[in-house]
Amino acid sequence: MSQKIYFSRMQELLKDEYDAYIESLSKPLYRGMRINLKKAELDEFDHLDHPSQFCKESYYVDKPLGNHPFHICGCFYLQEPSASSAVEILDVQEDDYVLDLCAAPGGKSTQIASHLQSGYLVSNEIDAKRAQILLSNIERMGVKNVAVTNTSVDKLAKVFDACFDKILVDAPCSGEGMIKKHDIALNHWSIENIELCAARQKEILEHAYSMLKPGGTLVYSTCTYALEEDEDVVLAFLEKHEDMELVDPEVLWGRKGFKDLNVRRIFPMDGGEGHFIAKFKKQPGMAGKLPVLKSKKIDKVTEKFLKEQLNTLPKYYYIDKDRVYGMDVPFVDFKKVKVLRQGVYLGDVIKNRFEPSHSFYMVADFDYKRKVNVTLEEMDLFMHGEVLQKECEKGYVAVCFKGHPFGFGKSDGRQIKNKIPKGLRLLPNSHVNID
């Protein structure tokens, strides 16, 4: 019965385009990849013949690429093309302080990070398991000036008052736009769930509003078609906050929203799966101050290691017992908020020596002094935990494919002992594949 109601609602919404929507459900899902411009150049990729309209570094692809060497290196992120639309509308600048409130699995967070230089990203996810996936993708894509938090939005709002230049709320929703991908979205569809989602979305937006700087930009997005979660949420938010203005998304793709609102909708007929995006601007006023921590001074052992490995060292440090973290912006004081990671986990000081982490060798803009390039075959061996018979300088070394690090090892001059974490190694029947 619920499915019948869903399709009846869609028919009412789409009218003459309803048949085209129904036809789209039988077509394959749109596949895409977004190139990480902090790690790679567009001309490094072959067969990118179908650029996405939603984002200049996004492309349509027609095959799985999870074991492509450049994916392992963090040079691209597998992302349905229209999923990049919200961040494109957010229009992140290199010095922005940005909050991504519902961030897992990390597609939008890593897209935001790719635009930052002197800026900073707080990437939050309330679900603990999904937050770990988010962290893993943040690390693979080599993000440096970032904090990954695992908390509720209300707790985050208690720490940050009018601090962020840009906020993305890619809100949990009923997922109508994902019906083609996940049967559960249709099987569990109900009006009651839509109403629950809408209530939760309004609550999240309230907390986002409190954390947004005067003059800042907030983008609200969903992957559902339901008016109750899209246009109605926007109207309720505008009614409550007179200092928030709905502004032009300034894009040509997709289509205008319903109820005469200048928002953006994407249907499968528009070249992507279902998305809704609204862009708000807060009126100028008095901004809050981001609470920051005093930078720690690193010991001589850590400093010696970093100078041996990097041409340019991080500017700020945080030390937790033996663990050392680094960033190029000041560390933020999150008080009692659960932080999974802030900055790059560089490594540990153990018995007067420095043991680097895997994440240290994945950073997009670290300039490594010690690195070795391997062939595709050698990369496959290394990703399976094998020792490489390869001459190079003694000590820790970044192991690279075509200049892109994907891990590290320790060399005795003749061979490189494998330091790829076991959880990141390929399974026996899985292989690095460039085709």
DSSP 284: P
String of DSSP letters for 18-55: HHHHHHHTTSPPPEEEEE-TTT--GGG-S----B-SS-
DSSP state of 359: G
| CB-count burial class (<10 Å; 0-12, 13-18, 19+) for 317 | buried
In sequence order, the β-bridge partners of residue 344 are 326
Please identify which of the residues 75, 173, 223, 392 carries the catalytic annotation.
223
The SS3 assignment for 386 reads coil
Q: Which residues share a beta bridge with 289?
A: none
**223 assigned to active site:** yes
Q: Tokens representing 67?
A: 């074991």
Provide the residue type at 367 as one letter: D
Closest CA to 277 of 84, 122, 107, 97: 84
Query: Is-contact 40 403, C-beta < 8 A?
Result: no
Q: How far apart are CA 254 and CA 260, in angstroms?
A: 15
The DSSP symbol for 330 reads P
Give the side-chain half-sphere CA count within 13 A for 396. Answer: 22
Closest to 163 measured CA to CA, from 272, 38, 290, 61:
290
Would you say 199 and 205 are in contact if contact means Cβ atoms under 8 Å apart? Answer: no
From the list 76, 72, 73, 74, the residue with the least C-alpha distance to 55 is: 76
For 46, half-sphere exposure in the C-beta direction (CA atoms, 13 angstrom radius) is 5
Tokens of 404: 């892109």
In whole angstroms, what is the distance from residue 166 CA to residue 162 CA?
Answer: 11
Q: Is 164 helix (H, G, I), strand (E, B) or coil?
A: strand
Structure tokens at 257: 């929203």
Q: How far is CA 352 from CA 39, 292, 298, 322, 348, in A?
A: 33, 29, 13, 11, 10
Element (DSSP H or E) covering residue 369? none
The catalytic site residues sit at 223
